Amino acid sequence: MTGKQKRNLIRARKIGEKSRQNDMFSNDIIHYIKTHTNIEEKKEADLFRFMRNINSCSRLGLFGQTADENTFIAAHTCKHKLCAVCNWRRSEIVRMKYFTFLKEDVLIKKTIKKGIEKIDKIEQKDIDFMHLTLTVPHKKGLFKGEKWYAHKLIEYYNSMRKEDFWKENVVGGEYGVELTKGKEGLHIHIHSLLLVKKSNKNRNKLHKNILIYWNKVTSEKGDKSTITEKRKDAILKGNELLKKSDLKKIKGTGSTIIGLNLLFVYSKKPLSDKDIWIENIKMYKHYINYKEGKLMRGAIMECIKYHFEPVAILDESGHLNVEFVAEVLPLIYGKPLYRKFGFLHGIKQLNVNYKEQTLLEEIVSIAENAIENLFVKRERYVAVDCRRIFVFDNKLVIKGNDPITILQSTTALGAANELIQIQISREMQKKNKPIEIENFPEMQNNMNFLCN
Ligand SMILES: [Zn+2]
């Protein structure tokens, strides 16, 4: 099997799994609505809209077929922020983009302003990648009296990036807002990847400045409190450049936890002579050098993976936390939770315009990555519900007895156009259906496909 075929099977397995996970989400919502009698009208409408989205997602997948092989090409998706399929797709797209971008030793940014092309360059040997996590205190789920404080977080982060200490050290980066559900209600925080100029103790210098700034903006107005000696000692432990006198201005009501790390991996064997043995997990901590391409890109993906799944929506049993979803849906609707800044801002090839991407554009972008040649003739193309896709013994299998839709065109581009027409007519039909629970059929054990 070629690498290309292997990658295609991984994608096919994923789209199958994720579209069946959407079915589970849908069932969980139906169950919730049926068992709760006093759901607010607005909440119920939001849940219905979400369900309608995920119920339409990847129902039309485009596959190439020969006598002995099925190949997954692309699927029509719903682009919802909480959709299982779409979150996976976003992660796939971002991964591909960053991998390609970071492969070069010199990072290049081309921008066109008033018709004039400008080129900026950064040599990877001159920077360190760091992962920054920013949180705020939120007793009883409230920060400065607000439950949805994401915009405050973003506002403070934007203002911090205008400070001199920041501009002198950080050349660019990107960030995402992540939401989880804690005991104290919504927990909203920022994960950010930073490109930091290489210098002696750059991490500690930056950490010190961020701590002082972030504590100040996140503390209550007129706060005269300070932090305990124990807390001071804990902070000093994490940064050898900090002195007790630096912590005089640290306020009790502000944030005191700043996560700032050079990218690293844990390894059973030392990967360099500088690795540090960590006794409690019995592993070596290895800080990654930009020359370690694969490790580096893996760690970067680990750092930005939260952007693809901005909301942790599963409960402990692996089911959808419907209550939480209902609470979060109106808050995230239409709100950008992801941004690039500094050097990365304006780099078109890293943009994730996934929301606007049509099926046709998606297929073109896949073709550009050489998975499928748009104009090469294949035996035939078919449209299949992706929930029917399984991978067994390294083969893509379409389960179920329902007939599959054979498309007329013999090129991927033509087949994609046909698929779009089918999608449009389906949407027209759906428009006439009233939104009520009877129109959302419950899926039984991932449907009849398994009975085959
Ligand atoms: Zn979707």
Give the pLDDT of residue 331.
Answer: 86
Over residues 380-385, the mean pLDDT reads: 93
Q: Are residues 234 and 364 in the same domain?
A: no
Q: Are residues 244 and 149 in the same domain?
A: yes
Pairing of strands 61-65, 405-406: unpaired
User: Which protein residues have their CB within 5 A of the ion that is ligand 1?
Assistant: 57, 77-78, 83, 85-86
For ligand 1, the distance from its centroid to the CA atom of residue 307, given in whole angstroms, is 16
Q: Does residue 99 lie within any of the structural domains? A: no
Give the pLDDT of residue 411.
Answer: 84
What is the length of the chain?
A: 452
Strand order in the sheet with 127-134: 258-262, 127-134, 185-197, 170-182, 338-342
For ligand 1, the distance from its centroid to the CA atom of residue 93, given in whole angstroms, is 14
| Tens digit of each residue's pLDDT (9 = 90 or more) over 73-85 | 889 898 898 999 9
Angle between helices 84-102 and 293-304 (to 10 degrees): 140
- Rounded Cα distance between 256 and 222, Å, is 17
Pairing of strands 258-262, 127-134: antiparallel
Over residues 312-318, the mean pLDDT reads: 87
pLDDT at 228 over 80: yes
For ligand 1, the distance from its centroid to the CA atom of residue 77, given in whole angstroms, is 5
Closest CA to 448 of 23, 26, 73, 101: 23
Q: Does residue 262 lie within any of the structural domains? A: yes
Q: Does residue 449 lie within any of the structural domains? A: no
For ligand 1, the distance from its centroid to the CA atom of residue 218, given in whole angstroms, is 36
SS3 196: strand
For ligand 1, the distance from its centroid to the CA atom of residue 156, given in whole angstroms, is 32
Structural tokens at position 36: 């709760």
Q: Does residue 223 lie within any of the structural domains? A: yes
Residue 292: give the domain boundaries: 107-350
- Rounded Cα distance between 213 and 438, Å, is 54
Q: Are residues 167 and 307 in the same domain?
A: yes
For ligand 1, the distance from its centroid to the CA atom of residue 148, given in whole angstroms, is 25
- pTM score: 0.84
- The domain tally of the chain equals 2
Q: Are residues 343 and 364 in the same domain?
A: no
Burial of residue 39, with CB atoms counted within 10 A of its CB: 0-12 exposed, 13-18 middle, 19 or more buried: middle
Q: Are residues 148 and 260 in the same domain?
A: yes
pLDDT at 306 over 80: no
| Tens digit of each residue's pLDDT (9 = 90 or more) over 234-277 | 999 999 999 999 998 899 899 999 999 999 888 899 999 999 99
Structural tokens at position 39: 């759901």
